């Protein structure tokens, strides 16, 4: 049985990281797996890169820009520009040799100029069984990657709050209808990375209407031997960090992304600064990702900036060096950062959203806070700092028991055998 993973990239974004980790876990487990990506680093022998020549890279860029340009008339504001995918432009990979020889097509994240709705239709029309890991909600909505409080995806979409002119027959409704036609009668098994995502998909009209669509739940894998606890004082010396301070870590691909909640973290830190006299002398902040300058002058704690972290070894060292990781995201599925931190024995304080409560046991391996409550987040930060060693041990054990590559690969292998009838 040959499995082909399909994702836009093999290195950019959380879905890419999770997809490559699953590819590696599958190969180690003995599954015959490959990956097809639009853009790649060229570092993995089992990953085939679709874009190679200068001309094809130009075409890729034009398709990506086309996605942006043709959505501008519909966008409510620039903040939503990448929160909704129109999927008008993309590539037809249905005749690619890896697609033709595959027994199972395993989709991951395919937006922003990779697969258009037409390309997706041609891929599904090959008749091959499809397994689709849900890294966000786009596969079962009219276009949004996270619906927030909108429940339109449970019916027909329309009246989309992300669009400039919501209407019953707006772009989200038309795309919802297009997906319904594409999915009708197709053999698609959706897999939520979290139970939260699984339940969202099961409630959606696109999944619910066809009995051929199954919805499973499997966590993303992580190399628990690579992401592991180390002696903090040693790692701090290597990174040039203070050994006698409490260190708090925050990071994201784009620190300024409103969905990542940096504003709530800043409010929590400001509250701590006012409440706890002298805390600025005891606590310092570590941040990784793009646009760290967006933190601005309102930050009262000393900042250690790491910009974009380019490999997992560097990423693990940041978790190993810190006392706690903070995730103030208001919308998220199953963030890689949370399980990476936990695997390194570093507890997490986070808002109780998405799949996060499936990873963090409140007051046992971290601290969960009602979404948007900055003062409560501040209390959580204090609690985790005061109990970091015990919480860290529990976090490490949970990661070992639930996210090991062998366990996740076995669960996907059972899905592959089910969809191909190979029991």
Output the pLDDT for position 395: 97
- For residues 233 and 322, the answer to whether their CB atoms sit within 8 Å is no
Rounded CA gap, 41 and 379, in Å? Answer: 41
Q: Where are the domains of the chain?
A: 2-221+404-420, 232-402
Q: What is the dihedral of CA 68, 73, 76, 77, to 10 degrees?
A: 50
| Strand residue runs (E) in 301-345 | 303-305, 324-327
Q: What pLDDT does 211 receive?
A: 61
pLDDT band at 353 (very low <50, low <70, confident <90, very high): very high
3-class SS of residue 95: coil
Q: How far apart are CA 348 and CA 250, in angstroms?
A: 10
pLDDT tens figures, 358-413: 999 999 999 999 999 999 999 999 999 999 999 999 999 999 999 999 999 999 99
3-state secondary structure of 347: coil
How many Cβ atoms from other residues are within 10 Å of residue 150's Cβ? 17
pLDDT at 422 over 80: no
- Per residue in 203-223, pLDDT (tens digit) is 999 998 776 688 999 999 999
| Packed helices 405-420 and 14-29: angle between N→C axes, nearest 10 degrees | 80
pLDDT tens sequence across 80-106: 788 999 999 999 999 999 999 999 999
* Half-sphere CA count of 363, side-chain side, radius 13 A: 1
Give the pair of three-digit tokens for residue 413.
């292998």
Mean pLDDT of 15-23: 95
Residues 264, 328: contact at Cβ < 8 Å?
yes
Check if 2-221+404-420 and 232-402 are the same fold.
Answer: yes
DSSP run (H or E) holding 413: helix 405-420
Give whole-number Cα distances, 116 to 178, 179, 193, in Å. Answer: 11, 11, 23
Structure tokens at 253: 């691909």
Taking the C-alpha atoms of residue 66 and residue 291, their distance in angstroms, rounded to an integer, is: 25
Q: What is the pLDDT of residue 277?
A: 76
CATH number for the region 232-402 comes to 3.40.50.2000
Report pLDDT digits (tens) over 51-65: 877 888 888 889 999
**Helix crossing, 117-124 with 171-183: angle to 10°?**
10
Q: Stretch 29-41: mean pLDDT, rounded?
A: 94
pLDDT score recorded for residue 185:
87
CA atoms within 13 A on the CB side of 328: 26
Q: Helix H segments across 251-299?
A: 262-275
Tell whether domain 2-221+404-420 is in CATH 3.40.50.2000: yes
Q: How does pLDDT run across 135-147, given as a tens digit for each residue?
A: 999 999 999 999 9
């Amino acid at each position: 049985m040959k499995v082909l993973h399909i994702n836009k990239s093999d290195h950019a974004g959380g879905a890419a990281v999770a997809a490559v980790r699953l590819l590696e876990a599958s190969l180690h487990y003995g599954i015959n797996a490959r990956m097809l990506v639009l853009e790649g680093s060229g570092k993995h022998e089992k990953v085939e890169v679709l874009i190679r020549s200068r001309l094809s890279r130009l075409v890729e860029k034009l398709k990506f820009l086309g996605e942006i340009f043709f959505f501008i008339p519909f966008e409510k504001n620039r903040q939503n520009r990448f929160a909704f995918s129109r999927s008008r432009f993309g590539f037809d990979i249905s005749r690619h040799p890896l697609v033709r020889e595959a027994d199972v097509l395993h989709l991951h994240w395919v937006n922003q100029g990779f697969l258009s709705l037409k390309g997706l239709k041609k891929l599904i029309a090959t008749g091959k069984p499809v397994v689709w890991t849900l890294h966000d909600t786009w596969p079962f909505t009219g276009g949004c990657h996270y619906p927030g409080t909108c429940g339109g995806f449970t019916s027909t979409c329309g009246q989309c709050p992300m669009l400039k002119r919501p209407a019953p027959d707006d772009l989200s409704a038309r795309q919802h209808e297009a997906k319904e036609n594409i999915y009708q009668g197709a053999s698609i098994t959706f897999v939520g990375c979290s139970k939260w995502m699984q339940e969202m998909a099961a409630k959606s009209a696109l999944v619910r209407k066809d009995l051929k669509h199954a919805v499973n739940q499997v966590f993303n894998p992580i190399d628990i031997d690579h992401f592991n606890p180390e002696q903090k004082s040693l790692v701090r010396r290597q990174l040039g960090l203070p050994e006698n301070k409490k260190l708090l870590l925050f990071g994201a691909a784009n620190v300024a992304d409103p969905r990542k909640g940096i504003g709530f973290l800043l409010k929590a830190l400001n509250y701590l600064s006012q409440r706890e006299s002298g805390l600025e002398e005891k606590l310092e902040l570590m941040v990784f990702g793009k646009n760290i300058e967006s933190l601005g002058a309102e930050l009262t704690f000393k900042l250690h900036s790491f910009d974009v972290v380019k490999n997992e070894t560097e990423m693990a060292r940041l978790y190993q060096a810190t006392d706690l990781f903070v995730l103030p995201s208001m919308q998220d599925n199953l963030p890689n950062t949370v399980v990476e931190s936990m695997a390194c024995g570093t507890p997490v304080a986070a808002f109780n959203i998405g799949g996060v409560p499936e990873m963090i046991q409140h007051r046992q391996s971290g601290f969960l806070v009602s979404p948007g409550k900055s003062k409560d987040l501040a209390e959580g930060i204090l609690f985790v700092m005061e109990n970091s060693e015990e919480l860290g041990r529990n976090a490490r054990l949970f990661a070992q028991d639930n996210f090991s590559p062998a366990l996740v690969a076995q669960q996907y292998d059972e899905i592959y055998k089910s969809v191909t009838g190979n029991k």
